[in-house]
Amino acid sequence: MTHTSPSLPLTGRVAVVTGASSGIGAATARRLADGGASVALLGRREDRLEALARDLRRDAPGAVLPVAVDLTDAEAVPEAARAVAAALGTVDLVVANAGVMLGAPFERARSDEWDRMIDVNLRGLLHTSRAFADDLLAVGARGGPADLVHVGSVGGHALFPDWSVYCATKAAVAHLTRNLRAELGPRGVRVKNIEPGVTGTELGADMQDLGMRETLSRLRSGVGPLAAEDIAEAIAFAVSAPPHVNVAEMVVVPVRQG
Q: Read off the pLDDT of residues 127-152 as tens digits, 9 standing for 90 and up.
A: 999 999 999 999 999 999 999 999 99
The residue with greater pLDDT, 255 or 208, is 255
For residue 5, being part of any structural domain is answered with no
Please give the C-alpha separations between residue 28 and each of 49, 108, 160, in angstroms, as whole numbers.
13, 35, 26
pLDDT of residue 1: 41
pLDDT at residue 3, as a whole number: 47
Q: Are 184 and 140 in contact (CB under 8 A)?
A: yes
Report the largest interatomic distance among the alpha carbons of the chain, rounded to a whole angstrom: 57
* Domain membership flag for residue 130: yes
Q: Give the pLDDT band of residue 241 (cuts 50, 70, 90).
A: very high
Region 72-90 average pLDDT: 97
- Is 30 within the bounds of a domain? yes
Q: Give the CATH number, domain containing residue 93.
A: 3.40.50.720
* Predicted pLDDT of residue 167: 97
Q: Give yes or no for residue 205 having a pLDDT over 80.
A: yes
In a domain, 140, yes or no: yes
Portion of the chain with pLDDT greater than 70, in percent: 98
What value does the mean pLDDT take over residues 32-40? 98
| Residue 137 placed within a domain | yes
The arithmetic mean of pLDDT across residues 114-126, rounded, is 97
Nearest-5° Cα angle at 113, 112 to 118: 100
The rounded distance, in Å, linking the Cα atoms of 33 and 62 is 7
Q: How confident is the prediction for the chain on average, in pLDDT?
A: 94
Res. 190 pLDDT band, cuts 50 70 90: very high
Domain assignment present for 3: no
The pLDDT of residue 12 is: 96
**Residue 218: band (very low, low, confident or very high) from pLDDT cuts 50, 70, 90:** confident
Query: How many other CB atoms are found less than 10 A from the CB of residue 162?
Result: 17
Q: Compare 22 and 7 and report the one with higher pLDDT.
A: 22
> How many domains in the chain?
1
So what's the pLDDT on residue 6?
62
pTM: 0.93
Q: What is the per-residue pLDDT for 73?
A: 95
What pLDDT shows up at residue 5? 57
Q: Which residues are catalytic?
A: 166
Q: Residue 200's domain spans which residues? A: 14-257
Closest CA to 24 of 240, 230, 207: 230
* 50 within a domain of the structure (yes/no): yes
Residue 35 lies inside a defined structural domain of this protein: yes
